[in-house]
Amino acid sequence: MTSYSKARVSRLAEMDSVCPPKHTLTNAFTMVGEETGAKNFVLFNVEIHPGGEAEPDLHPDREHCYFVLSGIGHAVVDGESFTLNPGDCLWIPPGAEHGVKPVGGQTLRFAVVTSPPPWVNPDPA
């Protein structure tokens, strides 16, 4: 069995944010990252403010999941448009070009899960 660290709580109010590459007007907080001992995924809390966006990007060997907490978003995945509302979950398969931005003048807040995490090299298929 794989050895894991002990359980821990991550508090958003105590974290510093970063603006990831290919993002504008974005605050991203790593809620579950490598330092927690997680081995199979990473969890971010992302806030894209009005006028900002996550520009189109793709990750050949990583799947993503967006769970919308508040605000309304417009996502495009491999040319297909999606309107995202609070409570919606968008799954993005590996290799799919994807981008998202807020609409309606509100900040778009969503949780992002990525697997495998960036610190794990995916096995070539």
Per-residue model confidence as pLDDT tens digits over 110-121: 999 999 998 888
Tens of pLDDT, residue by residue over 48-86, are: 999 999 999 999 999 999 999 999 999 999 999 999 999
The CA radius of gyration of the chain, in Å to the nearest whole number, is 15
Q: Is the pLDDT of residue 1 over 50?
A: no
Report domain extents, the chain: 16-115
For residue 123, the 8-state DSSP code is: P
Q: Among 89, 99, 91, which Cα is nearest to 22's?
A: 99
Q: Could you tell me if 23 and 14 are in contact, meaning their C-beta atoms sit under 8 angstroms apart?
A: no
- CATH code for the part of the protein at 16-115: 2.60.120.10
Confidence of residue 107 (pLDDT cuts 50, 70, 90): very high
- Overall average pLDDT of the 10-21 stretch: 96
- At 35, is the secondary structure helix, strand, or coil? helix
Q: Compute the distance between CA of residue 103 and CA of residue 44 in angstroms, rounded to an integer.
A: 21
Residue with tokens 């069995």: 1
